[in-house]
Chain A
């Protein structure tokens, strides 16, 4: 198990290096620069001397290869650089926002798990029932509904009409502020989980060993608990892992809409003004998060089904 764990963690490193290279190349070739972006809203006249001073300060007029070497060298020392905009270390900016992002992702996942898995399970146990039909219609709607629109709808309903919850912001970090963004973000994984769970359970229910269990006189509850749940778990864990890993990335739109202070909104702002060190650092953190969650999922697989470890 230890060797398996180490091997999976080791595999993260080349992926991170490739991502780091890609980010550097992409943001070196896209048009626009930080200094010039400061004037792009037309609210002040361009100041060539200031542009020159900023380019000099941030080393943006150095050759591409030199900048690349500096970037890689710093990265190897876990230094994500300094923000052009705030002149603070990128790691500090990300750390300031990380907890809010994690809160949102965890709350969204808990919401999705708490509703999606039981609904999928119940739907599969009663295929063709009203519950099954409603759950699947709900799942398809949840998957196809744009998050931005859903967020506005929830704001309108729960903030404006019912006045139960605040429509935006972090407030003092209270649960009430978290509800609407978390539910909006959690609807897609909820729908996916419900569908995946239903499909997984139906698949297991038609397996030979379930018929065998029934023929041995095992009760329905025991069959579900001992055989169905355990065998459907691998598929559910896969979906949970993939969804949880990508939630921080998906949260970009939600954070912007609800003025939620996570790293998603930091990324959007930084791309808009070409604050490249922050963009690079934030994307790397999002990718690292995804890889870590997936590695954790692989390890959980191995624990659930030892055959995976051997493969």
Chain B
């Protein structure tokens, strides 16, 4: 079963036929929805860590790397090729000579150096600084000890040499929204927040705060023949129910679905064939704090994993809009182990493990939880009777979504339920169980295991991707055995799209973010889109 699921997910399980591009048609307007809030915080995407602003990035900006959803890996975007030194630390990028900013400035190495310095500048406190940190000299620059980032060297206008601190794949960090490249000839940096200028396929046209951002085709885009669309209206629609009506009324071209809508759309003839599904890189889990006495014992943590009927919760509450988790790394991860089964539902075994650990009479603990329907209080309430059967009493401790991060990163919890990033870079994902990673960074369960550390350090140094993935696979399996969390599920993201929309891809990093330059609409689209 899991093998089938894995294959399906990796190949982009739901790439409905309508989404596969053929006979691309030029022109038209796409009405795309940005569902993560009712405003864009800023148009200066370097300064924003929010998913909401990634919609703008996709249209207007480009980074040195981009995410290839079909092959599930980062690829060069602003460079045509890169030479890598033997030790894997020095990359020489040959930049695209045809890339031009929307203000007509051709892309040069200076723009990348300027952008990375702006991102790493401590005065700006930009979220992308951590992605630049692996460039040699970035930390000194951020600390104010150097005027330049020593690892950035302009060879000529179209050749840039970057020296990294370690031989990790730089693509994962330098494809991020927050590492987008800006032109170096804009004097007033404040203008980036109001009139963004980028290298993307679409030019900024208009921003109606709280309503929409409109972009139009950039005629000098470096990919010949692209983009296909003339215009995109990126409209803000945070309410699921309102999005549902607007989608059915054909006012919007795509809609991200929640569990209830997913179930409803699957049952409707007119909608069920236009669903795009993908296993995203998020792992929903309940993290156990080893400061709490019972959770120090691995058998107690394993017992909880056995005591919960995970598939039942996924079916009834999450409406099958998720895949059962068999470890930390998700299905789409290159280091995912398809042969490793999830914990089976076995209350008797759970009781045995609890008895062995000295908790035959059970114990009581609280789970800090946000109101989220897929990984919050409703899920804790669902596991409550299951754990009660093995003698464990669970109390949900509801907190507002904004307070969850604070509670967890300050180690102020017995257990928490959350959805955490677990990809696409398996090395970065497994960092969250490395003992040297601070609890407040992402080692939320204060995981410390000598064997894991050894595997992780070997993976860090390994340059052969296949070997590195094998080491990470072993590390991931070790984490599953140690059970620092209850492995709940991997999110299945679902996007509904109108039948006239083509070119959508199963983006495992975030399905809502689509490569706009690949999208086109056919002649069956309503007149308002033609």
Contacts and interface: CB of A to CB of B under 8 A. Distances in A.
Contacts of A257: 239, 241-242
A139 B236 CA distance: 33
B210 A31 contact: no
A45 B237 contact: no
B209 A261 contact: yes
Interface string B33-58: 00011110110000101110000000
Contact of B208 (A31, A38, A261): A261
Contacts of A156: 245
A273 B236 CA distance: 17
B80 to A, nearest CB: 30
Contact of B210 (A36, A85, A265, A273): A265
Which of B49, B129, B209, B419 counts the most chain A CB atoms within 10 A? B209
Given A87-B42, A262-B210, A269 B248 contact: no
Interface residues of B, number: 60
B406 interface: yes
Nearest to B420: A42
Nearest to B372: A41
A262 B208 CA distance: 11
Contacts of B246: 159, 167-168
B193 A43 contact: no
B150 to A, nearest CB: 20
B402 A49 contact: no
A183 B442 CA distance: 47
Interface string A258-282: 1111100110110111100000000
A90 to B, nearest CB: 13
Contacts of B527: none
A168 B241 CA distance: 11
- Assign chain A's interface to a size class: 35 or more
B245 A53 contact: no
Interface stretch (A74-82, A92-100, A199-207, A214-222): A92-100
Interface string B222-257: 000000000000011111011001101101000000
B94 to A, nearest CB: 30
A102 B41 CA distance: 22
A53 B49 CA distance: 14
A156 B418 CA distance: 34
Given A40-B401, A42-B420, A265-B210, A49 B38 contact: no
A46 B242 contact: no
A257 B440 CA distance: 36
A292 interface: no
Contacts of A97: 209-210
Contacts of B421: 42-45
Interface in B497-515: 510
Given A50-B130, A169-B212, A262-B210, A40 B404 contact: yes
Nearest to A258: B242
Which of B237, B249, B442 counts the most chain A CB atoms within 10 A? B249
B210 A261 contact: yes
Contact of A259 (B130, B236, B420): B236
Given A46-B442, A87-B42, A259 B405 contact: no
B151 interface: no
Interface in B17-41: 36-39, 41
A227 interface: no
A272 B401 CA distance: 7
A92 B259 CA distance: 38
Contacts of A54: 125
A32 B441 contact: no
A257 B42 CA distance: 22
A28 interface: no
A100 to B, nearest CB: 7
B438 interface: yes
Given A47-B441, A261-B211, A39 B405 contact: yes
A88 interface: yes
Contacts of A41: 36, 51, 401, 419
B72 interface: no
A48 B210 contact: no
B268 to A, nearest CB: 14
Contacts of A229: none
Given A170-B208, A265-B210, A269-B38, A31 B407 contact: yes
Contacts of A160: 245, 248-249
Given A43-B421, A156-B245, A160-B248, A266 B39 contact: yes
22 contacts: A31-B406, A33-B402, A37-B401, A38-B50, A39-B405, A43-B282, A44-B421, A46-B409, A46-B444, A57-B125, A86-B42, A87-B193, A97-B209, A97-B210, A159-B246, A163-B249, A257-B242, A259-B210, A261-B208, A261-B236, A265-B38, A272-B401
Interface of B: 36-39, 41-42, 47, 49-51, 122, 125, 127, 129-130, 193, 208-212, 235-239, 241-242, 245-246, 248-249, 251, 282, 370, 375, 399-409, 418-421, 428, 431-432, 438, 440-442, 444, 510
Interface of A: 30-33, 36-51, 53-54, 56-57, 85-88, 93, 96-97, 100, 151-152, 155-156, 159-160, 163, 166-170, 255-262, 265-266, 268-269, 271-274
Closest 8 CB pairs of A and B: A261-B210, A32-B403, A45-B442, A32-B402, A53-B125, A40-B405, A31-B403, A265-B38
